[in-house]
């Protein structure tokens, strides 16, 4: 099953595109192909896995499932940077 990233997704129109190393062209992604409960949407940069089908106007990503984010990677980095900035600004005041 291919894995890729969401290039962009327009909630108002209900579609967007996914990119992956296995395909040179961007893959069309329609909201009806997203496998999740509730409001079906994707965010740019999200990691997804999917199946593909060849369509008249290119390849479509279907059975799209959002992959879980790696817990804390971005958050821990930004928290460290914020703590470093606070300690630097505090030491400058003395």
What span, in angstroms and rounded, lies between the C-alpha atoms of 32 and 34? 6
Domains of the chain are 3-69 (2.40.50.140)
| Mean pLDDT, range 20-43, rounded to an integer | 96
pTM as predicted: 0.72
Sign of the alpha-carbon dihedral angle for 53, 57, 58, 63? negative
Least reliable range by pLDDT among 3-7, 47-51, 57-61, 66-70: 66-70
């Amino acid at each position: 099953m291919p894995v890729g990233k969401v290039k962009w997704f327009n909630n108002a129109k209900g579609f967007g595109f996914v990119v992956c190393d296995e395909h040179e062209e961007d893959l069309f992604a329609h909201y009806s192909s997203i496998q999740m409960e509730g409001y079906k949407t994707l965010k740019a940069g999200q990691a997804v896995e999917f199946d593909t089908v060849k369509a008249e106007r290119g390849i479509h990503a279907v059975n799209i499932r959002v992959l879980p984010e790696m817990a804390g990677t971005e958050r821990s980095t930004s928290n460290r940077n914020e703590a470093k900035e606070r300690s630097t600004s505090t030491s400058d005041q003395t």
